[in-house]
């Protein structure tokens, strides 16, 4: 019998702890706060699959997130599907958009690709702004259902759902990182021509990674309408979503799957703590200073810092 | 000492709506100090507990759960603006709290919550009532206008206002010759104004936010837009800094407003309030006169405070009941709520800029520059028509 | 006026790795000195140490430029270059996204070189006509050998007094190897250039070298005071002449 | 309803707008296009420039363009200082430019909030004699509010173009991101070159900010609206190329203006950025990329 | 000529207005050792870029083992058995020397590699090339010459049927050149055909069974080594006698 890896043990522990948390903790605030952290975590993990592993920077993360949210809104309105199905649908549609973005990598490298994703985000935003079925620029209201399975409240259910999604995302990212596929992605990041000539099917691998990234971001966005109950394009295509998706992996470290996880937990919880404890414009200032400090002190991310420390000790 | 009564809310102190949000906060702090000076509510001092939502809807659910679960506030009021009010609704509704709300346009049409009370005087059918006056004025003129152009920013309020305008225009039998929206991040408005001019409309209705309001007015002047009535739903023309900058370009524009220093609108307490506001606003980078939002931010707390005093309780059921049936006397005049929580009668003013001089801020402190044309009840002068021919 | 280079007991390396273990050598005024050694012996590292790219942990590096002596240890590469010492680095280090012409003009950034742009440019174009033909092509898209020529030409554009060349013949066709070597000799004649050259192509190097050193594992293993002594050395024969 | 005068006006308005976009993007064409530093905060610097213009204009009534020019040296110093920090944290340790992204995001927030703390969030405007006036040639209107920025932008672009193409420092700026060591071997200190270039890029923000506030009201976070446009213009122009950047800016301005006039302004961003995507699809390294 | 493994016909490649290759024809029989020489800029690297798929040719066809591969993407050519080294080294910089070899082993040679023993196979290749001591070193820190060796090692790890070595010996001393030639000869004995691009004539003469010469994008000679270097055109264009 093969040994169960520590990763899966910790994943199970996290999920069990999450469940216990919903049972024990009454204070709903924690569920909403952690929900946002987990949302950031999934976005960061997703961004890192393309940005960190494959070396293609996506500036349009917010668009995937928003399309995920709007897929959920549209299908909720049209068919009244249950949330899990909405999430699957959002994953499918954003995965498809990711696939499309993947084809951009055929010709566009480096910053050209990054700006293309930014352009794509603006084009998508304009479409949704003008799509009146989902409210257009006026925004859409989502009335959350009263049912919340066996949980005490709807936000507890959303929290648990997000926790499961986050664990799955991290598992996928980790699997990618250490597989043959992941090494192929790293080769692409280092030198695409050399990778091709070494037999790496670069296009297919890039398509796989953009699709996974897109789908994952869509998954992060799908429950969002039920979380805020009112979504308009301005808040869905949100600069902060895009900033966090990039900053969290950078701060955590991009080369290893744990990087975005650490970055998201650190930055996300700092943001939540600062938001409610320093109730003024100072909170954005602190977020700004934090970004600058973290990234200046550990330019390779926290993982990079730790690795360097270990290397020094070994030497 | 007595335990304070805590009133919790979220407010935009950074981000797009922060200009108004910070003004509102100043007004609310003035109310708190006023009340506490008089001995508080129910003999308890009042404390405001608030967080910056950074104009991000995603922050709002967390803020209200925190207010309720951790800070254990006794009362809540809303943030400023539709986008930031709506995300709080499910949480408030689940706890069945009274929810005085500050300038949300038609939020309750979706939620139908019977403890929601909107302080903005838009009226029972907010989206339509908003521009009723603008079109009523137009149709009184001679010769009667026949065509209208509607242009609005791609954002929540402007689009809703434009939708109302469309309805009013249709009811008035006007032909809509131009009906387009533009993204709020537009830099230059002259092409838009020119395209409007090309359709030769008698009336131009604009639904816009501060930066685009300025852009539109400037472009209309530069292009020499020829139309008979211009304005309607432009946010921003109520703010002193923008008024000062636009100066004479404003003359003739007819636009909505909620309060102006005209003799017909001298409600009790409003002068004192504005004096305190002017003092408090100094150096805070907010509107120096605060005619637009601050009186209402003061008033929605006044209503809440009066209800608490009258019912002698913090029981939300009792408060809601009282608020539904009572007419309140506030710095913005008499306030009576209708069934859906909106004002029972609309009091959206249509005011016309008149006689504005260049580069002069003080002129807007007093009467004579913004003449109230509508509703008749509050009228302070007659329309100058047409706007530009 | 005299230009020379002297290196005494230099130790240097990368981090924990020690590469040069006390090297001493001298290049006298107007000389061309060949530096020989197997792959990884430390030739490039020595040149980097002279240029200030790697900092020696011990030893002395000094250059006499126009009769004035300068201590090179502790100087930044740009300061060394500014004195009039140029390096043709291994791996060419061109500006791939600048054109051939722009690369050459970059070479003339040094103040002392600006006055001689036309003269030096003409010399480079005469030596490597392909550079003149392709002056508008991006350096990065040139063929390997063309890039090597450009790297050499760019160093000449800095109008140096002392020229260090790390393997000038790498990637060059025999016809160009011969021509390059000839032109280095001409540079020396025309400008009285002092040259230190790492070169694997022994037969070519020896044509213009006045003397040579062999480095093995970071030590000077052999010092040849003349061409003959070099040609007759056993180690060199084994290493370079395939005997 | 495409009439000749509407079309002519739309194209002219587009040109003027495009000129202003060039002023917004030119600093990035240096910092991002040539130094490879992803300075997301550039629009925030432009807002800082706009506030400088506002403050001096409202206090002393100085012309905003003049303020922009006078403030440029100060911005240059600020830029040089920021580059020092950036260098110390990232480049010295050999980090690729990407990690700087989070740094500049942070910087953007800091600039925004400091402006908010000091000057509040109210919309700010400037006063100048020519604002609101326009010049009519035939049936074409040239509002000075757009014409002045256009003229200044053209002058700025031309100046920087010549500087980069004709001087040794200019060429060094183009080369520095490609190979630092190689630049050292040319006898040039790459850090000083980068610091200089970064300062230069930020200095243009002082002028662009003055132009921005001539055109319309400014509040601390409006800079965000220009992030996409500015980067798109630089990339469309082919990264480092100044002339390419200028043409790309004009194209973007004209496309937006035409859509605003004839199609419905709501679609302007989709069309403008759609054009960008299409151009990249056909020419993967921009219009004038190397 | 029945066992021609690679055939290039009528191949042309232009860069903008510049013609880098014009109507080049070349063939390689299985197990052959071909030396490819020519002055700088004559198109040798461009030719093998076209053969390996790193560039697509404008005209002409490339046939490998009887199948037309002209439009095949590079990775498929690598899987069919064409491996090349890069003249200007392109190591995977974030990886160690050993990890660099895993890529071709896991991708190009996946069907031929023994999956469980990728590391052993990689070590074996490194040992052959003489990079064993550097296995754990970050590939970005190698000297130029070691990088060239790594290029060769990575090509070997793809377990090719045709190996193209683009100036792998540049910068090596005479003795080291001999070592590399031995390695290539050894490889050739196992049936791998080798195209060797090199400017070191001693190596070309020692290694090649046949030599082809390019000049200004055209093939000017093709035949046994002795007669090729005796060819006056070759002497004028390449050897400079
Ligand atoms: N950047 C570096 N980091 C770590 N080690 C290095 C670095 N550069 C070179 N080395 C090591 O230093 C030693 C000497 O390298 P150097 O480049 O000086 O050799 P060389 O004599 O020039 O050889 P070649 O003929 O290969 O050019 C080698 O063992 C090499 O591995
Ligand atoms: N992308 C490109 N754009 C323009 N010209 C190019 C490009 N790539 C190669 N060339 C030119 O094509 C010619 C052939 O180059 P190639 O690299 O094939 O030469 P080569 O025979 O390998 O030379 P070397 O022996 O110097 O490596 C050269 O003159 C080169 O400048
Ligand atoms: Mg070397
Ligand atoms: Mg070649």
Ligand 2 atom nearest to E199, measured from its CA = 25
Pocket lining: C102 vs ligand 1, CB cutoff 6 Å = no
3 state SS of C4: strand
pLDDT of residue D50: 96
The answer to whether residue B148 scores a pLDDT higher than 80 is: yes
Which of E74, E108, E150 would best serve as a mutation to test chain A binding (most A beta carbons within 10 A)?
Answer: E74
pLDDT of residue E29: 93
| Mean pLDDT value across residues A18-28 | 82
Cβ contacts (< 8 Å) between B127 and chain A: which residues? none
Cβ contacts (< 8 Å) between B287 and chain D: which residues? 122
Cβ contacts (< 8 Å) between C81 and chain D: which residues? 184-187
Residue-wise pLDDT for C66-93, tens only, equals 999 999 999 999 999 999 999 999 888 9
Who among B63, B153, B156 is closest to A139 (CB)?
Answer: B156
3 state SS of B116: strand
How many other CB atoms are found less than 10 A from the CB of residue B321? 16
Strand extents, DSSP E, chain C: 4-14, 17-27, 32-37, 58-65, 68-71, 85-88, 162-166, 194-198, 211-216, 219-224
d(CA B63, CA B65): 6
Instruction: Map B269-327 to HEC letters.
Output: CHHHHHHHHHHHHCCCCCCCCCCCCHHHHHHHHHHHHHHHHHHCCCCHHHHHHHHHHCE
Q: State whether B195 and D261 contact (CB < 8 Å).
A: yes
d(CA E202, CA D51): 71
Cis amide prior to A24 (ω within 30 degrees): no
The answer to whether residue B308 scores a pLDDT higher than 90 is: yes
Q: In angstroms, what separates the C-alpha of A181 from chain E's closest C-alpha?
A: 10
Model confidence at E100, pLDDT cuts 50, 70, 90, reads very high
The answer to whether residue A313 scores a pLDDT higher than 70 is: no
- Residues E163, E131: contact at Cβ < 8 Å? no
CATH classification at residue C134: 3.40.50.300
Residues contacting residue D130 through CB under 8 Å, at least 6 positions apart: D144, D145, D148
Pocket lining: C89 vs ligand 1, CB cutoff 6 Å = no
| Mean pLDDT value across residues C212-227 | 88
> Which position has the token pair 């390695």?
E183
Model confidence at A114, pLDDT cuts 50, 70, 90, reads confident
Strand extents, DSSP E, chain A: 140-141, 230-231
Q: State whether D178 and C98 contact (CB < 8 Å).
A: yes
pLDDT of residue E164: 94
Which of A300-304, B32-36, B216-220, E193-197 shows the lowest mean pLDDT across its residues? A300-304
pLDDT of residue B10: 94
The domain in which residue C13 lies consists of: 4-239
Question: For chain D, what is the domain count?
Answer: 1
Ligand lying nearest the CA atom of residue C42: 1
Model confidence at E241, pLDDT cuts 50, 70, 90, reads low
In chain E, which residue's Cα lies nearest the Cα of C214? Answer: E173
The answer to whether residue B26 scores a pLDDT higher than 70 is: yes
When the pLDDT of each residue in chain D is averaged and rounded to a whole number, the result is 90
Domain-located, residue A307: no
Model confidence at E115, pLDDT cuts 50, 70, 90, reads confident
- In the reported structure, the alpha carbon of residue C21 is separated from the centroid of ligand 1 by a whole-number distance in angstroms of 13
Looking at ligand 2, which residue's alpha carbon is closest to its atom 4? Answer: E15
Ligand lying nearest the CA atom of residue C177: 2
Pocket lining: C170 vs ligand 1, CB cutoff 6 Å = no
Residue-wise pLDDT for C51-64, tens only, equals 999 999 999 999 99
The answer to whether residue C236 scores a pLDDT higher than 80 is: no
Q: State whether C170 and E173 contact (CB < 8 Å).
A: no
- Residues A166, A10: contact at Cβ < 8 Å? no
Who among A26, A153, A235 is closest to B58 (CB)?
Answer: A235
d(CA B49, CA B67): 8
Exposed, middle or buried, C221 (CB in 10 Å: 0-12/13-18/19+)? Answer: middle
Cβ contacts (< 8 Å) between D6 and chain B: which residues? 194-195, 198
Q: Within an 8 Å CB–CB cutoff, is residue E179 touching chain C? A: no
d(CA D202, CA B319): 57
How many other CB atoms are found less than 10 A from the CB of residue D73? 12
- Residues D26, D245: contact at Cβ < 8 Å? yes
Domain-located, residue A312: no
Looking at ligand 1, which residue's alpha carbon is closest to its atom 12? Answer: C19
Model confidence at D163, pLDDT cuts 50, 70, 90, reads very high
Strand extents, DSSP E, B78-202: 99-101, 116-118, 147-153, 175-182
Is E158 or A147 the better-scoring residue by pLDDT? E158
Residue-wise pLDDT for D65-88, tens only, equals 999 999 999 999 999 999 998 888
Cβ contacts (< 8 Å) between D275 and chain A: which residues? none
pLDDT of residue A241: 87
The answer to whether residue D213 scores a pLDDT higher than 60 is: yes
d(CA D43, CA D22): 13
Ligand 1 atom nearest to E171, measured from its CA = 25
d(CA E128, CA A294): 45
Domain-located, residue A275: no
pLDDT of residue A288: 81
Domain-located, residue D286: no
Distances (CA, A) of E81 to A169, D267, E90, E104, E105: 37, 51, 20, 11, 12
The answer to whether residue A279 scores a pLDDT higher than 70 is: no
Model confidence at E1, pLDDT cuts 50, 70, 90, reads very low
The answer to whether residue A315 scores a pLDDT higher than 70 is: no
Backbone angles phi, psi at E33, to 5 degrees: -120, 110
Ligand 2 atom nearest to E87, measured from its CA = 27
Pocket lining: E141 vs ligand 1, CB cutoff 6 Å = yes
Pocket lining: E41 vs ligand 2, CB cutoff 6 Å = yes
Q: State whether C39 and E173 contact (CB < 8 Å).
A: yes
Residue-wise pLDDT for D88-137, tens only, equals 888 776 656 667 777 888 899 899 888 888 887 778 888 888 887 888 88
Q: State whether C95 and D175 contact (CB < 8 Å).
A: yes
The answer to whether residue D13 scores a pLDDT higher than 70 is: yes
The domain in which residue D152 lies consists of: 4-265
Residue-wise pLDDT for E13-52, tens only, equals 999 888 999 999 999 999 999 999 999 989 999 999 999 9
pLDDT of residue C43: 92
Task: Report the sign of the C-alpha dihedral through residues D140, D144, D146, D152, in that order.
Answer: positive
Residue-wise pLDDT for A193-203, tens only, equals 999 999 999 99
The answer to whether residue B327 scores a pLDDT higher than 70 is: yes
Pocket lining: E143 vs ligand 1, CB cutoff 6 Å = yes
d(CA A227, CA B93): 14
* Chains adjacent to B (≥3 CB pairs closer than 8 angstroms): A, D
Helix (H) or strand (E) holding E13, with range, is strand E4-15
| Mean pLDDT value across residues C139-165 | 91
Residue-wise pLDDT for B266-294, tens only, equals 998 999 999 999 999 988 888 999 999 99
* Chains adjacent to A (≥3 CB pairs closer than 8 angstroms): B, D, E
pLDDT of residue A281: 67
Residue-wise pLDDT for E198-220, tens only, equals 998 889 999 999 999 999 999 99
| Mean pLDDT value across residues E163-181 | 87
Q: State whether B155 and A272 contact (CB < 8 Å).
A: no
Domain-located, residue D281: no
pLDDT of residue B90: 87
Question: For chain C, what is the domain count?
Answer: 1
pLDDT of residue A312: 66
Q: In angstroms, what separates the C-alpha of B250 from chain D's closest C-alpha?
A: 12
Q: In angstroms, what separates the C-alpha of D68 from chain A's closest C-alpha?
A: 26
Ligand 1 atom nearest to E134, measured from its CA = 31
Ligand 1 atom nearest to C167, measured from its CA = 27
Number of residues that this document lists for chain D? 290
Domain-located, residue A267: no
In chain C, which residue's Cα lies nearest the Cα of D178? Answer: C95
Q: Within an 8 Å CB–CB cutoff, is residue D225 touching chain C? A: no
d(CA E212, CA E11): 15
Q: Do chains B and E touch (3 or more CB pairs under 8 A)?
A: no
Cβ contacts (< 8 Å) between B94 and chain A: which residues? 153
Q: Within an 8 Å CB–CB cutoff, is residue A291 touching chain D? A: yes
Beta strands B175-182 and B203-208: pairing type?
A: unpaired
What percent of chain D has pLDDT above 90? 53
The domain in which residue A91 lies consists of: 25-238
Pocket lining: E44 vs ligand 2, CB cutoff 6 Å = yes
> Which position has the token pair 């400079």?
E240
Residue-wise pLDDT for A123-136, tens only, equals 999 999 999 898 88
Q: Within an 8 Å CB–CB cutoff, is residue A304 touching chain B? A: no
Strand extents, DSSP E, A174-246: 230-231
Who among A186, A198, A255 is closest to E104 (CB)?
Answer: A198
Residue-wise pLDDT for A80-109, tens only, equals 888 999 999 999 999 999 999 998 887 888
d(CA A189, CA A208): 14
Per-position DSSP letters for B7-69, written without gaps between them: EEEEE--SSTTHHHHHHHHHHHHHHHHHHHHTT-BTTB-EEEEEEE-TT-TTHHHHHHHIIII
The answer to whether residue D7 scores a pLDDT higher than 70 is: yes
Q: In angstroms, what separates the C-alpha of B313 from chain D's closest C-alpha?
A: 38
Pocket lining: E49 vs ligand 2, CB cutoff 6 Å = no
Model confidence at A305, pLDDT cuts 50, 70, 90, reads confident
Who among D10, D14, D123 is closest to B211 (CB)?
Answer: D123
Query: What does the block give as tokens for B375?
Result: 């509703």
Bridge partners for E222 per DSSP: E212
pLDDT of residue A181: 93
Question: For chain A, what is the domain count?
Answer: 1
How many other CB atoms are found less than 10 A from the CB of residue A17? 10
């Amino acid at each position: 019998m093969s040994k169960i890896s520590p990763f899966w043990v910790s994943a199970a522990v996290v999920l069990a702890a999450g469940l216990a948390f919903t049972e024990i903790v009454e204070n709903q605030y924690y569920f909403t706060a952690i929900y946002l952290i987990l949302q950031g975590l999934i976005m960061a993990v997703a961004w890192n699959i393309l940005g960190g592993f494959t070396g293609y920077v996506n500036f349009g993360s917010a668009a995937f997130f928003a399309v995920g949210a709007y897929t959920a809104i549209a299908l909720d309105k049209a068919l009244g599907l249950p949330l899990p199905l909405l999430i699957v649908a959002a994953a499918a549609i954003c995965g498809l958009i990711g696939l499309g973005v993947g084809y951009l990598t055929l010709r566009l490298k480096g910053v050209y690709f990054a700006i293309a994703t930014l352009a794509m985000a603006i084009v998508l935003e304009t479409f949704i702004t003008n799509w009146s079925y989902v409210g257009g620029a006026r925004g859409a209201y989502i009335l959350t259902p009263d049912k919340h399975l066996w949980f005490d409240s709807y936000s507890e259910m959303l929290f648990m759902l997000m926790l499961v999604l986050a664990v799955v995302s991290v598992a996928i990212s980790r699997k990618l990182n250490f597989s043959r596929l992941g090494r192929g992605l790293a080769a692409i990041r280092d030198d695409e021509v050399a990778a091709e000539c070494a037999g790496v099917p670069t296009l297919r691998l890039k398509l796989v990674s953009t699709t996974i990234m897109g789908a994952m971001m869509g998954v992060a966005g799908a429950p969002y309408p039920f979380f805020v109950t009112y979504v308009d394009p301005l808040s869905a295509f949100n600069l902060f979503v895009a900033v966090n998706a990039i900053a969290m992996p950078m701060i955590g470290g991009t080369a290893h799957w744990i990087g975005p996880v650490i970055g998201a937990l650190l930055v996300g919880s700092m943001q939540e703590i600062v938001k409610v404890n320093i109730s003024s414009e100072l909170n954005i200032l602190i977020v700004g200073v934090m970004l600058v400090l973290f990234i200046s002190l550990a330019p390779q991310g926290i993982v990079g810092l730790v690795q360097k420390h270990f290397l020094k000790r070994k030497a | 000492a007595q335990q304070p009564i805590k009133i919790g809310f979220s407010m935009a102190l950074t981000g797009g709506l922060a200009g108004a949000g910070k003004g509102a906060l100043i007004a609310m702090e003035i109310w708190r100090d006023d009340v506490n000076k008089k001995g508080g509510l129910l003999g308890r001092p009042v404390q405001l507990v608030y967080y910056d939502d950074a104009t991000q809807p995603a922050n709002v659910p967390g803020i209200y759960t925190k207010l309720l679960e951790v800070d254990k506030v006794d009362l809540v009021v809303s943030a400023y603006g539709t986008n930031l009010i709506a995300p709080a609704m499910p949480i408030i509704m689940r706890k069945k709290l009274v929810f005085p709300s500050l300038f949300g346009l038609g939020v309750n049409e979706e939620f139908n919550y019977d403890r929601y009370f909107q302080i903005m005087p838009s009226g029972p059918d907010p989206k339509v009532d908003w521009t009723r006056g603008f079109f009523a004025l137009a149709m009184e003129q001679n010769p009667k206008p026949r065509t209208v152009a509607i242009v609005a920013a791609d954002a929540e309020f402007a689009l809703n206002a434009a939708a109302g305008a469309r309805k009013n225009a249709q009811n008035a039998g006007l032909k809509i010759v131009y009906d387009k929206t533009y993204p709020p991040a537009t830099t230059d408005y002259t092409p838009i104004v020119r395209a409007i001019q090309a359709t030769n409309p008698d009336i131009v209705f604009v639904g816009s936010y501060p930066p685009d309001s300025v852009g539109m007015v400037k472009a209309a002047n530069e292009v020499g837009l020829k139309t008979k009535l211009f304005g309607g739903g432009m946010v921003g023309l109520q703010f002193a800094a923008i008024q000062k900058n636009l100066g004479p370009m404003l003359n003739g524009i007819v636009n909505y407003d909620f309060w102006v220093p005209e003799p017909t609108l001298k409600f009790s307490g409003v002068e004192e309030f504005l004096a305190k506001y002017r003092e408090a606003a100094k150096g805070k980078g907010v509107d120096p006169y605060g005619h637009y939002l601050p009186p209402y931010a003061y008033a929605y707390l006044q209503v809440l405070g009066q209800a608490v005093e009258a019912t002698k309780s913090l029981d939300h059921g009792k408060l809601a009941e009282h608020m539904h049936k009572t007419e309140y006397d506030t710095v913005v005049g008499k306030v009576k709520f209708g069934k859906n929580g909106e004002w029972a009668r609309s009091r959206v003013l249509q005011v016309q800029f008149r006689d504005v001089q260049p580069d002069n801020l003080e002129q807007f402190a007093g009467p004579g520059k913004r003449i109230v044309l509508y509703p008749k009840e509050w009228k302070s002068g007659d329309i100058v028509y047409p706007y530009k021919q | 006026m005299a230009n020379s280079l002297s290196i005494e007991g230099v130790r240097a390396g990368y981090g924990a790795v020690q590469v040069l273990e006390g090297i001493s050598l001298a290049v006298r005024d107007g000389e061309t000195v060949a530096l020989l050694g197997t792959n990884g012996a430390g030739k490039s590292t020595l040149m980097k140490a002279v240029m200030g790219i790697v900092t020696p942990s011990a030893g002395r590096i000094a250059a006499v430029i126009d009769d004035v002596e300068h201590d090179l240890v502790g100087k930044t590469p740009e300061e060394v270059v500014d004195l009039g010492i140029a390096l043709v680095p291994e791996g060419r280090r061109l500006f791939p996204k600048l054109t051939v012409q722009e690369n050459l003009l970059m070479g003339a950034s040094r103040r002392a070189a600006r006055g001689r742009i036309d003269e030096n440019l003409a010399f480079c174009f005469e030596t490597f006509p392909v550079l003149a033909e392709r002056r508008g092509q991006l350096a990065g898209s040139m063929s390997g050998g063309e890039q090597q020529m450009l790297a050499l030409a760019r160093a000449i554009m800095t109008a140096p007094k002392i020229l260090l060349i790390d393997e000038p013949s790498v990637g060059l066709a025999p016809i160009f190897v011969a021509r390059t070597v000839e032109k280095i000799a001409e540079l020396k004649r025309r400008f009285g250039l002092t040259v230190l050259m790492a070169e694997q192509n022994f037969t070519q190097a020896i044509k213009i070298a006045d003397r040579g050193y062999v480095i093995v594992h970071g030590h000077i293993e052999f010092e040849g005071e003349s061409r003959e002594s070099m040609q007759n050395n056993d180690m060199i024969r084994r290493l370079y002449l395939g005997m | 309803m495409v009439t000749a005068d509407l079309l002519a006006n739309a194209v002219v308005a587009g040109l003027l707008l495009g000129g202003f976009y060039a002023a917004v993007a030119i600093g990035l064409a240096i910092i991002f296009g040539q130094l490879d530093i992803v300075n997301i905060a550039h629009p925030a610097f432009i807002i800082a420039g706009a506030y400088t213009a506002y403050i001096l204009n409202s206090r002393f009534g100085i012309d905003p363009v003049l303020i922009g020019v006078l403030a440029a040296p100060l911005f240059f110093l600020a830029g040089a200082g920021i580059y020092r920090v950036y260098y110390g944290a990232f480049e010295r340790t050999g980090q690729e430019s990407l990690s700087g992204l989070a740094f500049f995001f942070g910087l953007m927030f800091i600039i925004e909030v400091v402006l908010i703390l000091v000057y509040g969030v109210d919309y700010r405007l400037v006063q100048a004699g020519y604002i609101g006036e326009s010049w009519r040639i035939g049936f074409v209107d040239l509002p000075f509010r757009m014409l002045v920025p256009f003229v200044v932008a053209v002058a700025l672009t031309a100046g920087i173009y010549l500087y980069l193409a004709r001087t040794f420092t200019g060429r060094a700026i183009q080369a520095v991101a490609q190979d630092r060591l190689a630049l050292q071997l040319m006898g040039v200190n790459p850090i000083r070159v980068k610091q200089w270039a970064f300062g230069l890029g930020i200095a243009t923000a002082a002028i662009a900010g003055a132009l921005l506030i001539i055109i319309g009201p400014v509040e601390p976070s409006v800079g965000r609206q220009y992030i996409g446009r500015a980067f798109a213009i630089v990339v469309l122009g082919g990264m480092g190329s100044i002339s390419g950047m200028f043409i790309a800016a004009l194209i973007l301005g004209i496309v937006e203006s035409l859509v605003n006039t004839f199609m419905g302004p709501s679609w302007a961003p989709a069309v403008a950025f759609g054009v960008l995507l299409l151009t990249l699809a056909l020419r993967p390294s921009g219009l004038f990329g190397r | 000529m029945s066992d021609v493994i690679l055939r290039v016909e009528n191949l042309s490649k232009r860069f903008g207005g510049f013609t880098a290759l014009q109507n080049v024809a070349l063939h390689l029989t299985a197990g052959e050792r071909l030396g490819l020489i020519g002055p700088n800029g004559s198109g040798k690297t461009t030719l093998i870029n076209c053969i390996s798929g790193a560039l697509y040719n404008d005209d002409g066809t490339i046939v490998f083992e009887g199948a037309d591969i002209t439009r095949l993407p590079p990775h498929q050519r690598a899987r069919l058995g064409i491996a090349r080294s890069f003249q200007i080294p392109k190591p995977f910089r974030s990886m160690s020397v050993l990890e660099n070899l895993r890529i071709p082993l896991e991708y190009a040679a996946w069907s031929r590699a023994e999956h469980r023993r990728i590391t052993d196979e990689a070590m074996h290749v490194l040992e052959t090339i003489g990079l064993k001591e550097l296995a754990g070193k970050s590939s970005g820190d190698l000297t130029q010459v070691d990088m060239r060796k790594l290029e060769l090692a990575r090509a070997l790890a793809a377990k090719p049927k045709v190996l193209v070595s683009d100036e792998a010996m540049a910068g090596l001393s005479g003795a080291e050149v001999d070592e590399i030639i031995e390695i290539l000869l050894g490889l050739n004995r196992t049936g791998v055909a080798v195209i060797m691009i090199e400017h070191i004539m001693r190596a070309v003469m020692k290694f090649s069974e046949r030599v082809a010469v390019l000049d200004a994008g055209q093939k000017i000679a093709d035949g046994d080594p002795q007669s090729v270097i005796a060819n006056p055109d070759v002497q004028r264009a390449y050897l400079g006698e």
